[in-house]
Amino acid sequence: MSLQDITLTLNGETVTKPAEPRTHLADFLREDHLLTGTHLGCEQGVCGACTLYVDGRPVRSCITFAAACDGAEVRSIEGFEADPLMARLRAAFTKHHGLQCGYCTPGMLATAYDIVRRLPDADETRIRAELSGNICRCTGYAGIVEAIRDVLANDPPQAALQPLTRKRRAATDNSSILATAVPTDEPAADLPLLDVTALADGVELTREIVLAAPAGKVWSVLSDIPAVVACIPGASLDGPVEDDIVRGRCVVALGPMRASFAGSARIKLDAAAQTGTVAGSGRDRLSRSSLDGVLNFALKAEGETASRLSLAMRYRLKGPLAQFGRPALVAEIADRILADVAANIAARASGQAAPAQPQALNGLALLVAALKRLLRLG
């Protein structure tokens, strides 16, 4: 496989090294730059041991391609040696016995650093939620949580609490194909609209959900695309619907990590038959994962006060995040998401205010719940 030069600002210094396109950032740092403070655990983006910073945001370096970070600012645990806030976190981890074998510690410290900077008012519940993407086999987490609470309670310097710089990098000749790291609040990129024939080998999923609202009122919500998007956790539009084309994103949070699938979709609605089709593609640029899918839906009345929505979807998930795309898991997660979406649509159709949606879909909580259910069924 051919090599390409990758240039990074690594812990404050500009470095250039050749690497294969498939090389992950963790291997690039450990093998080519001898920065072994970045630890590899699961190598699937789940355990959090390899967490470091790319352009000011925490990422899983084991599922981030080095080539996708060409031109980025990368900061590994070694780059925090002289950082005053990290020094306070290290001291707190020692004071509260937040480490034993120490293998998870670099990733834990990186996540703790993000929590203190981003959430200065975080309580224990929020800290634990933010740490849910980092696994520790030794400590039971109590000491780690207390260490972070200690730092937050003892007034970190205001300079330390300023948000990390998250710069937008223009694509270069080397990175335009391999994708660059961008913050989640940038406009969604225009993607080629999906050719549905390309999904012949995709995974199929069918579901029916009953909504506690008349079909006519439900259709008035379904035909209002912004209203539907507002009912989906983590989803947002990047502009109005134009010529049946919608552009937007869906943000999925895995502990402190965020995957932002940005893309385009074509929507076709038949008001007379109360049916519709959505065909779209989305990409998470940092992990270079992609999701393509087609959704067909039909609405039927269930008496005068309820309605039934039939869904048939075919999808294909590629890239590092495809590990979470096993059909059984997707089906379980889809059921949980659809229950929330159905409740929100029914509330809007009945003239009630839909519950406030989180800024990101909590993928980790959905995944854990799905795994627990699958284990019970097994």
Domain boundary among 137, 153, 183: 183
Name the 3-class secondary structure at 155.
Answer: coil
pLDDT of residue 25 exceeding 60, the answer is yes
DSSP string, 324-336: G--HHHHHHHHHH
Pairing of strands 306-318, 203-211: antiparallel
Q: Is residue 272 part of a domain?
A: yes
Q: Is residue 254 part of a domain?
A: yes
The rounded distance, in Å, linking the Cα atoms of 44 and 319 is 11
Q: Is residue 38 part of a domain?
A: yes
Indicate the Cα dihedral angle 12, 15, 18, 23, nearest 10°.
Answer: -10
CATH code, domain carrying 132:
3.10.20.30
Are 307 and 371 contained in the same domain?
yes
Are 209 and 158 contained in the same domain?
no
Are 179 and 297 contained in the same domain?
no
Q: H-type helices in the chain, by residue range?
A: 25-27, 84-95, 105-118, 124-130, 142-153, 215-222, 225-230, 327-349, 363-377
Q: What angle do CA 126, 320, 109 make, to 5 degrees?
A: 35
pLDDT of residue 269 exceeding 50, the answer is yes
Are 38 and 152 contained in the same domain?
yes
In 198-340, beta strands by DSSP E: 203-211, 235-237, 245-254, 257-270, 275-284, 289-302, 306-318
Are 147 and 200 contained in the same domain?
no
Question: Which letter does DSSP use for residue 271 in this model?
Answer: T
303: left (phi over 0), alpha (psi -120 to 50) or beta: left
Are 278 and 351 contained in the same domain?
yes
Domain boundary among 123, 153, 183: 183
Are 175 and 206 contained in the same domain?
no
| Minimum mean pLDDT range among 73-77, 128-132, 337-341, 374-378 | 374-378
The rounded distance, in Å, linking the Cα atoms of 91 and 47 is 23
Q: How far is CA 281 from CA 18, 106, 236, 327, 361, in A?
A: 31, 35, 15, 19, 18
Q: Which of 275, 282, 277, 292 shows the shortest CA–CA distance to 195?
A: 292
Q: Which of 68, 121, 110 shows the shortest CA–CA distance to 85?
A: 110
Instruction: Identify the pLDDT of residue 128.
Output: 92
Are 212 and 279 contained in the same domain?
yes
CATH code, domain carrying 346:
3.30.530.20
Domain boundary among 124, 158, 183: 183
How distant is the alpha carbon of residue 277 from its chain centre? 25
Q: Is residue 203 part of a domain?
A: yes
Domain extent, residue 146, equals: 1-183
Q: Is residue 137 part of a domain?
A: yes
Q: Is residue 188 part of a domain?
A: no
Report, as an integer, the average pLDDT of 147-167.
66
Are 275 and 129 contained in the same domain?
no
Which of residues 288 and 203 earns the better pLDDT score? Answer: 203
Q: What angle do CA 288, 293, 294 make, to 5 degrees?
A: 165
Report, as an integer, the average pLDDT of 297-314.
91
Q: How many domains does the chain have?
A: 2
Are 157 and 257 contained in the same domain?
no
The rounded distance, in Å, linking the Cα atoms of 250 and 259 is 8
The pTM for the full model equals 0.53
pLDDT in tens, 172-182: 332 222 222 33
Are 308 and 332 contained in the same domain?
yes
Q: Is residue 299 part of a domain?
A: yes
Are 200 and 346 contained in the same domain?
yes
pLDDT in tens, 49-107: 999 999 888 999 999 999 889 999 999 999 999 899 999 999 999 999 999 999 999 99
3-state secondary structure 87-114: HHHHHHHHHCCCCCCCCCHHHHHHHHHH
pLDDT of residue 294 exceeding 80, the answer is yes
Q: Is residue 189 part of a domain?
A: no
